[in-house]
Amino acid sequence: MTKNQYRMLVLGGMVVSIFAGVVDIVFGLIPRELYVQLSIRESDFDYVSMMIAVFVLLPMFIAGLYGTLRFKRWAPKFNILFTLIALLFLIVDSAPSAQSNVSQVLEFLATYAHGLALTLPFLHSDVKQMFWPAEA
């Protein structure tokens, strides 16, 4: 695997994930009444959680993406730490949501791409050499 192929895996997973998030809205795959009903439940949104997401998770995501695309030595371990923190945040602060089958399939594909991008630096010798040239 080349550096550009690995970068395309990372960026492709992000693009698919973003598309999975907007496909229901753009193509109207979920009834509007359901969105209205879910938005009423989300009206009790906790602003502390939003601040945590903005001031902790967003900078961590940007730093991890930069480190990954530039093949910094700290990036693979940092991305695993970020993933664990983001999962804990989602467990504690997730609200009910609805997705169409198309959106779910796209989200599964994005999750597989992210999982592959997370594990390749530790399991694939070519990718390991990109992050840790002296150790591979």
Give the per-residue pLDDT at 42: 58
Provide the pLDDT for residue 41: 59
SS3 track for the chain: CCHHHHHHHHHHHHHHHHHHHHHHHHHCCCCHHHHHHHHHHHHHCCHHHHHHHHHHHHHHHHHHHHHHHCCCCCHHHHHHHHHHHHHHHHHHHCCCCCCCHHHHHHHHHHHHHHHHHHHHHHHCHHHHHHHCCCCC
Crossing angle between the packed helical segments 101-123 and 3-27, to the nearest 10 degrees: 160
pLDDT tens track for 49-93? 778 788 989 999 999 999 999 999 999 999 999 999 999 888 877
Residue 9: pLDDT band by 50, 70, 90 thresholds? very high
For 112-121, how does the pLDDT look when each residue is reduced to its tens digit (9 = 90+)? 999 999 999 9
